[in-house]
Amino acid sequence: MKKNPFDFQIPLIANVMADLRKLGRSLLAASMGSGKTQMATEVIKKTIKKDPKAKILVLAHGQSVLRSQFYQRLVAEKTPGTVLVESIEDLKKPGNVYVTLPQTISRHVDKIPFFKMVAADEAHEFFMAPSVDGILAAAMPEQVLILTASHGRYNDGSYPITSVSMSELVDAGVLADFKTTLVASADEFRASDYGLSDELKKSTQIKNADKTLGLALKEALGGADAKTIGPSLLVAYNQANAKVLVKGLRMRGINATISTSDTDPDSAEIHAFKAGEYQALVVCGRAVLGFDYPAMQNVFDFSGSCNVDKIFQLAGRVCRKYPGVEKSFYKMAPPGPIFETMYAALHVGLALTKPEYFANYQGFYNKTPTPMPKGMGSKERGVGNGQSIRLPSISDIRGIFAETGQGVGSYAMTTVAQVKAVLSGFLWTEEALRQHLVEAKYTSLSDWSSRGMASYNAARRLGVRDKLGAEIGFAPTRTRWTEELIRKLLTEGNFKRRRDWTAASHASEQAAIRLGIFDKLIEEFNLIQEGNTNRITSSPRRRSVSRELVSVAGAIDSAATIAAFNNKIGDAMTAKSMAEAMEEKAAYMDSIDASLQASVLRRLSGKLRNADVLLLAGKKCNCVKCDRPLTNKRAQKRGIGDDCMEKLGLRRVV
């Protein structure tokens, strides 16, 4: 009997089910083309089979085409009670599985019922957003399943991970190996044209898109007629760039169409392309995530992105196996230093096809040691001189890893950050930086660091930032307050009252609060405090929250403190099971009027102190002092233990 190439999904599904059953959460980190939607569908069907009354909410990425793809797969697999949610009212329909977009329901958290499970597809794009936090707070799921191929930010131990890499799928015969080519473009970019996420800034202009298109087609077709090109996806930098590209394709006799939010709001052109009506599809901001078209032969990336996660996702669009089709990924890169940076980024993307790299990847692609050609970033290499470069295939990268590990061959373990540092070293000198500051006309050090991050960092590395800033006339950098400096200020200032200290240096007072030495300094220097001295609950927002909670509770008088409120109600809930707490929440919500319900649920979505969120959600942790909204990062900084994080249903993030 012939083996099914998708048999690899069976143990993955079993692992996910076990994690959901034991821990209530699971991360399915599966490479593009692995069938994440199919595996999620099987998990959902097994959950419903075990509990026919289970309600499951599926959050697709914010595009209707991806929502429709997930819904159609569920229907095709005969998943019981599948409902397509296009408005909040659709949640009232009878069913088991509700497929929607986060933005469809995030503004109506007061109408979101309880769900046994929430499954988030392409979770790396939106799962950390406040709107999704609000949905989770209102739905109170017992289980959370997140699906992504770019799992770095979640791979910190907070979610048990089940993974399968692209290399494993190639070996299984599910995916096709493909060739990757870095093509020199006709536009030139500088490091200062890129933002913190290694994406081109919105202010960057691409002036030679049509010429770059010609270079790309020449590389892909050689001397062949452009009309013979196979099904191809072209990813543009912005909508203006997309229009130039589709016009250039048509002028060369290629039957092409365009799909952007302005020209194709219903994604009809994407469906037409997949139906074979066009040879080429030009997109901007879509068809990168979850786009499944096995017959596609080429992907051209004109976006200018140096972001490894985005490049990895985009390359995955062309790896679907199809009989008789050789797959290719073309990345357009400007000649010069950025070409070398993209060359390094592509090597990290290739490394992520290996099982051990993919499973352990935490999203820090700039700092991930990866085999790269020796001497990356140096002038002697001569990369970025206008010549295209072919990169290793998925199969080739295995041998390269083996040779590098043995200390032989022409590759060495390098990071993208190291390559950038070498490039920055020969790009920026003190004189070049001085000239750059005159031309760029930055208004302050802050403006320089924001709009010219590369040159700013180079100036810091060379130790000339403050010197050059002073020459231009920038204000000096702000003081980094330490306990010693704060004590010196208080001693020299000889303040009598706290308000005198505040007036003299509000920044130092706030630093004392952050350092946890405020009360000690107040007592040591005998500073008089006037009025309300509660630094946390004295703001108008905190006072309004306190008043609202007092009115909601109806169990304590208006003079009671928030702490007393938490203790009184919280103690009563400590021993309750999650099921009892959920029932109590439902009864509680039914007992108050609609306007107050909406207000309470808005607070649940992130605008209320954490203690009150936990209280109203029916959860309690005695070891957590929730004086401020408890974000994941703040929880980590406060040293809350893993057991407590799990108890509270929180997740750790990097």
- Does 368 have pLDDT greater than 90? no
Which pLDDT does position 620 carry in this prediction? 40
**Cα(89)–Cα(52) distance, integer angstroms:** 22
Select the more confidently predicted residue: 283 or 381.
283
494 falls in which pLDDT band (50, 70, 90)?
Answer: confident
Confidence band, pLDDT 50/70/90 cuts, at residue 252: very high
For residue range 504-525, list pLDDT tens digits in order.
Answer: 787 788 888 878 888 888 888 8
Q: Per mean pLDDT, which range of 537-541, 573-577, 647-651 is the poorest? A: 537-541
- 8-state DSSP, 528: B
Distance in angstroms (rounded) separating the CA atoms of residues 68 and 482: 55
Alpha helices by DSSP H, 204-266: 209-221, 239-251
Task: Please check whether residue 313 is in contact with residue 288, taking contact to mean a CB–CB distance below 8 angstroms.
Answer: yes
CA distance 587 to 604: 16
Q: Which of 176, 147, 169, 161 is nearest to 7 (CA)?
A: 169
- Domain 175-415, CATH class in plain words: alpha beta
Query: In the predicted model, is pLDDT for residue 16 greater than 90?
Result: yes
Does 175-415 match 5-164 at the fold level? yes
Q: What integer pLDDT is reported at residue 383 of this predicted model? A: 55
Task: Provide CB contacts within 8 A for 341, sequence distance 6+.
Answer: 191, 306, 416, 419, 420, 423
Quickly state the pLDDT bin for 377 (edges 50, 70, 90): low
| Single-letter residue type at 352 | L
Beta bridge partners of 283: 235, 259
Where does the pLDDT of residue 236 fall: very low under 50, low under 70, confident under 90, or very high at 90 and above?
A: very high
Buried b (16+ CB within 10 A) or exposed e, 508-539: bbebbeeeeebeebbeebebeeeeeeeeebee
Classify residue 448 as exposed, middle or buried by CB count within 10 Å of its CB (0-12, 13-18, 19+): buried
Q: Which residue has the tokens 């490894």?
A: 308
The CA-atom distances, in angstroms, between 523 and each of 130, 293, 499 are 39, 69, 15
pLDDT score for 331: 94
Of 69-78, 372-381, 430-439, give the range with the top mean pLDDT.
69-78
- pLDDT tier at 115 (50, 70, 90 boundaries)? very high
Place of tokens 């060379």: 462
The overall average pLDDT reported for the chain is 77
How many CA atoms lie less than 13 Å away from 100 in the CB half-sphere? 21
- Cross-strand partners of 184: 333
State what percent of residues in the chain have pLDDT above 70: 75
pLDDT band of 300, cuts 50, 70, 90: very high
User: Tokens representing 368?
Assistant: 């991930």
CA dihedral (371, 376, 381, 383) in degrees, to 10, reads: 90
Domain spans of the chain, in order of start: 5-164, 175-415, 428-472, 483-524, 540-648
Percent of the chain beyond pLDDT 90? 21
**Where residue 45 falls among pLDDT bands split at 50, 70, 90?**
very high
Highest average pLDDT, of 127-141, 162-176, 537-551, comes from 162-176
- Name the DSSP class of 63: S
Q: Are 384 and 390 in contact (CB under 8 A)?
A: no
What pLDDT, on the 0 to 100 scale, is given for residue 379? Answer: 55
pLDDT for 573: 38
Antiparallel, parallel or unpaired: β 280-283 and 370-373:
unpaired
CA 610 to centroid of chain Cα atoms: 24
Residue 8 DSSP code: G
Residue 542, pLDDT above cutoff 70: no
Task: Give the integer Cα–Cα distance in Å for 600 and 616.
Answer: 8
Answer yes or no: is pLDDT of 12 > 90.
yes
pLDDT score recorded for residue 436? 83
Report pLDDT for 271. Answer: 86
β-partners of residue 120 are 59, 146
For 621-636, the pLDDT digits (tens) are: 444 444 444 444 444 4
CA count, 13 A, side-chain hemisphere, 534: 12
292, with CB counted inside 10 A (0-12, 13-18, 19+), is middle
Cα–Cα distance, 558 to 565 (Å, whole number): 10
Domain 5-164 architecture: 3-Layer(aba) Sandwich (3.40)
pLDDT at 327: 93
What local confidence, expressed as pLDDT, does residue 604 receive? Answer: 40
Average pLDDT over residues 49-68: 85
Residue 591: its pLDDT value, please?
A: 55
Q: How do residues 310-347 score in pLDDT, each as one tens digit? A: 888 888 888 888 888 899 999 999 888 888 889 999 99
Residue written as token pair 């204000």: 475
What's the whole-model pTM score?
0.64
Q: Hey, is 484 helix, strand or coil?
A: helix
Q: Is 230 exposed, middle or buried (0-12, 13-18, 19+ CB in 10 A)?
A: middle
**Statement: residue 302 has pLDDT above 90:** yes
- Residue 446: its pLDDT value, please? 78
SS3 content of the chain, % helix, strand, coil (to 5): 50, 10, 40
Separation in Å, CA 140 to CA 88, 98, 340, 474, 594: 17, 15, 47, 51, 19
pLDDT of residue 250: 93
User: What is the reported pLDDT for 3?
Assistant: 61
* CA pair distance 53, 392, nearest whole angstrom: 51
Please write the tens of the pLDDT for every residue from 592-615.
455 444 444 444 433 333 444 444
